[in-house]
Structure 1
């Protein structure tokens, strides 16, 4: 073989060795994917470097993400930036605009999330809650005097209204006894009175006559009802009775007038009149639209507060998330085949250049070896 043939042969052999070696070295980063065994002994260089070091790689990546990529300071600065605040405000405006246009009723919205018959349940809850609170209140103050149960300002207002009550009663009495019905009733009362007096009543009826006696009594009765002293007398009577009533314990008043049933019946009527059903029949958008503009005006302030609050509690949130464990788990579960495909798709050209470089270096080494062979 002549000198040129030796040179070419050594260069080609060296280039092939260098290129093939680099090619297999790149492949052995990922392959084989799993360890292979012969007679219970693991074959050397199986699995490939990355599959073999996957656990360590996952741990290192988790630490890198937590310590260098998703750091609390970096996230906190990002949250405090004007760009994020503006994005939060724009997002809030879009959500409000979408919600205000919703035609779904509150009842339907709750049904979608699994809450059926919301209006009925709400009324039942309020009714049971008020019954519980009312029963507890009445039981607690069972022996307390009524004056301790009625607010002081209400007692004062009631005392101030007693003269008006007296005037109203007397005014209605005058109006009644001036009417034909009242006059007839007064005549019947006089007739019954005289009948109870036996012979004396019969003699009075015989001499005066019932009609004549009514005509005489009615003006005097009306004069009595219109007299100022009568109004003061009735006011004093009402005040005395009110003062006595205030000293009654609730239990005593309940025994006399069945106040508990009265209060419960009143509460039941109020609950029937003020059912929560209309609230659930309206659309969610109608409620949102009522506060939409006010919320939009305050969105920059609200967004700032929310982001500041998130920044202050960021350390705790990240600790609760366990990002390092999440990254490690994801890397552990990531298919090696997919990882190889991703790396090769990104660095395919560079890997080819490494293979070519190996061939070039092998060829150069082969040429040097040929020189040494020829010289020797």
Structure 2
């Protein structure tokens, strides 16, 4: 055999072996899937690298994802992004607007997602839950030391002197209107007649008898009513009543919830509250509520609901951000990733990797061919030099 064909044989053989070696090395990442035994002994390199190290890979991947990729800091930072909040607000607003225009009852809406038996069973569970929860919530409120120390004014959002004055003015106006209405009613007229009659009787003597003979009772009642109404409309009376009410409000706003709870629960008051809560007709209320139309329920409140959506989204995301670390610890993200990787089919993983890196794997195979060919060429030169 001449030197040329000898060189071709060396280069071709070495290139074939190099390419075949790299090809099998790539295949051995995924194959064989299971260990192969020969005469009771497991053959080396079986199973393939990824099937053999699947548990270790999944455990390491879970740790990487949980400790470095999906962290509480990263999720909290994502929750603070204005684009996320705006997107949630827009979708929630669109959902509320669409939901509020549905011309169907709540029962019809629920039956789109649940069967009648499922909804009936759910209502029974909801009624029992409301009965138990209402008692538990009231008991928790009464026993909470933190709440018992709070004054009533601390629980009123935006409470200040201006709000106090506005409340006092509202009460004064409502009180004066109610008194005027009562004075002009039949019952009020009877009361005024009784008062004027008692006044005449208490006058006594000749003047009292003379006044009883010559004074018209109807005119007296009319004049007394007019005088009282005139005084009620005067700024001085309004200011006097307003000052009295403001003082009372100041006294009440300093009362702690503990004092309120003690007043409520004295003389077996809590037992009466428990009995009333357990007797509440939750089932009847739910029956009446499910006959309401969605548009009827949400329509009049749509504007106020839409206005509150940004505040609701902010509050929800802030609460979620505060608890994101405990949530991640609770769900144990590394363990979830580990279980998902372990259960992921090797065949599908191979297809994904080959579809993404197939070109690179082919390049590695051809690199083996080239390197093998170079080695064969070097062997050819060595052979020629030895001749």
TM-score by length of 2: 0.56
Aligned to 1:318: 328
1:198 alignment counterpart: none
**What does the per-residue CA deviation read over 1:102-123, in whole Å, with 9 as the maximum and x for residues that have no partner?**
2231233455543339999999
Q: What are the within-5 Å matches in structure 2 for residues 327-342 of structure 1?
A: 327-342=337-352
> Counterparts in 2 of 1:283-322, with a 5 A limit?
283-322=293-332
Cα deviation for residue 64 of structure 1 reads: 1.0
CA distance in 2, matches of 1:32, 1:118: 52
Q: Quote how far apart the aligned CAs of 1:296 are.
A: 1.6
TM-score by length of 1: 0.58
Q: How does 1:1-376 map to 2 (within 5 A)?
A: 1-110=1-110, 113=114, 114-116=118-120, 164=190, 279-376=289-386
Deviations 1:332-363 (A, max 9, x none): 11111111111111111111100000000000
Which whole-Å CA distance do the structure 2 matches of 1:49 and 1:328 have between them?
Answer: 17
Which runs of 5 or more residues in structure 2 are unaligned? 131-178, 195-215, 218-280
Q: What SS class does the counterpart of residue 9 from structure 2 fall into? A: helix
Q: Aligned Cα RMSD in Å? A: 3.6
- Cα shift at 1:285: 2.7
Identify which range, 286-295 or 9-18, moves more after superposition. 286-295
Q: Which residue of 2 aligns with 1:133?
A: none
Deviations 1:8-56 (A, max 9, x none): 1111011001000000000000000111112322111110000000000
CA distance in 1, matches of 2:311, 2:333: 30
Instruction: Please say which structure displays the higher CA radius of gyration.
Output: 1
**Contact (CA 8 Å) 1:14, 1:365: kept in 2 or not?**
yes
Shift of 1:288: 1.9
Contact persistence 1:110–1:116 (CA under 8 A):
no
Are the structure 2 counterparts of residues 104 and 117 from structure 1 closer, same or farther at C-alpha, using a change threshold of 3 Å?
A: farther
After TM superposition, give the deviation of residue 374 of structure 1 in Å. Answer: 1.1
Count of residues paired in the alignment:
244
Q: 1:312 to 1:12 in 2, by over 3 A?
A: same
